[in-house]
Amino acid sequence: MTTHRSAFDAAELRAQFTDAGINTKCIASIWKYVLQNPGCEFDEIPDLPSSAYLLLHSKFKPLTSAIHSVLDSTDGVTTKLLIGLQAVIMTYDTRLGKYGGKPRLGGPRTTLCISSQVGCKMGCRFCATGTMGFKNNLTSGEIVEQLVHASRLTSIRNVVFMGMGEPLNNYTALVDAIRVMTGSPFQLSPKRITVSTVGIIHAINKLHSDLPGLNLAVSLHAPVQEIRCQIMPSARAFPLEKLMTALQTYQNNSRQKIFIEYIMLDGMNDEEQHAHQLGKLLETFQVVVNLIPFNPIGSSSQFRTSSDQRVSEFQKVLRGTYNIRTTIRKQMGQDISGACGQLVVNLPDKGTRENTSLLTDIEDLRI
């Protein structure tokens, strides 16, 4: 049986059109029509060459996924899409935040949290996704389709690759997907796209040249290698010293801030000595540190959430002693299993995949 690919699998679609002698300039118009017309068929797209219709029907589908349900959190700003893939929409009103002691200007902005894999190989012990192991990579089209579905519900301003999976372990599909997102019809600025990684060094080394202007976030979570290996088994393959060297090179080339994600685990990595160790590790970098309150992933969780006071004290050390901009992540979507680290496939036999949300708003961290 022939498996039809998503029309948003850019590399495959371009290759097929080129081999068939079809002008690839019409691809953007195909994407635009599919985006604007839910449930459409290829025959409905106007002004394509006759050979394009035949090829599209034989090898592609307008979409390979559909929304199964839409869950709205009681927080009023988080929506989880249960689809054949994984995505979470978060709306954040900038007027709720402060900068320089004053309320920010602006209004509601919407961020889409996207998954790049089903499951994850990294096995982070504080993350629900890590408990399910790795299932498969998403294609570039499956990644883009998350943006297609979300864009039909609301206008998406920012995209963060912080859902299920390690984006840099699906590097080719990631790069292809982001190139689609920054082109027509989506036209997202690279500055509004953030890729989060546990620190895949060889991929970080080529990320800037492949996707210039992108935001990089690093799931650091510990200031020393020993603790990092305890909570992130994959860290053994990416020693902290080598990771920091790669990040320094990345920053020298990109001239951009790097976002550091740091989950707060009671008694594990949240003490004052850890704050000083982290400050010394990062003092030569231009970074924004985002402290993440831990979301329990069930009664069997081996970790506890740090107290609000402990998180605040940790932040004060980084800000006051090391002058490092440090934010505390606002938690959203916990009631719909849409908060950071709660993403896991609970019903594999029925194909339902649950999802995660993160962040306050990435734009507020960039200033």
Taking phi over 0 as left and psi of -120 to 50 as alpha, with beta for the rest, 213 belongs to: left
Amino acid at 43: D
Q: Which residue has the higher pLDDT, 144 or 68?
A: 144
Task: Specify the pairing of strand 117-119 against strand 98-99.
Answer: unpaired
SS in 3 state form for the chain? Answer: CCCCEECCCHHHHHHHHHHCCCCHHHHHHHHHHHHHCCCCCHHHCCCCCHHHHHHHHHHEECCCCCEEEEEECCCCCEEEEEECCEEEEEEEEHHHCEECCEECCCCEEEEEEECCEEECCCCCCCCCHHHCCEEEECCHHHHHHHHHHHHCCCCCCEEEECCCCCHHHHHHHHHHHHHHHCCCCCCCCHHHEEEEECCCHHHHHHHHHHCCCCEEEEECCCCCHHHHHHHCHHHHHCCHHHHHHHHHHHHHHHCCCEEEEEEEECCCCCCHHHHHHHHHHHCCCCEEEEEEECCCCCCCCCCCECCHHHHHHHHHHHHHHHCCEEEECCCCCHHHCCCCCCCCCCECCCCECCCCCCCCCHHHHHC
Residue % of the chain over a pLDDT of 70: 83
Give me the CATH code for the 67-336 domain, please: 3.20.20.70
* 80: confidence class by pLDDT, cuts 50, 70, 90: confident
178 pLDDT above the threshold of 80: yes
Mean pLDDT computed over 203-231? 97
Q: What is the mean pLDDT of residues 333-360?
A: 39
Give burial (CB, 10 Å; 0-12/13-18/19+) of 53.
Answer: middle
Does the structure show a pLDDT above 70 at 28?
Answer: yes
Question: What pLDDT sits at residue 345?
Answer: 46
Of 1-15, 70-84, 94-108, 183-197, give the lowest mean pLDDT range: 94-108
Domain ranges of the chain: 5-61, 67-336
The pLDDT tens digits for 83-95 are 765 577 877 665 5
Residue 233 has pLDDT above 90, yes or no: yes
- For the stretch 56-69, pLDDT in tens is 999 999 999 988 88
Averaged confidence pLDDT in the chain:
86
Is pLDDT at 194 greater than 60 in this prediction? Answer: yes
State the virtual CA torsion across 86, 14, 2, 152 in degrees, nearest 10.
Answer: 30
Give the bridge partners for 214, in sequence order.
Answer: none
Q: State the average pLDDT over residues 330-345.
A: 46
Cβ neighbors of 6 (< 8 A, separation 6 or more) are 60, 61, 63, 64, 65, 139, 141, 142, 144, 145
pLDDT at 348: 36
pLDDT of residue 3: 83
Of 225, 192, 249, nearest in space to 366 by CA:
192
321 and 276 Cβ atoms separated by less than 8 Å: yes
Residue 339 has pLDDT above 50, yes or no: no
Whether the full predicted model's pTM is greater than 0.85, yes or no, is yes
Task: Say what the pLDDT of residue 342 is.
Answer: 43
Q: Provide the percentage of residues in the chain whose pLDDT is more than 90.
A: 69
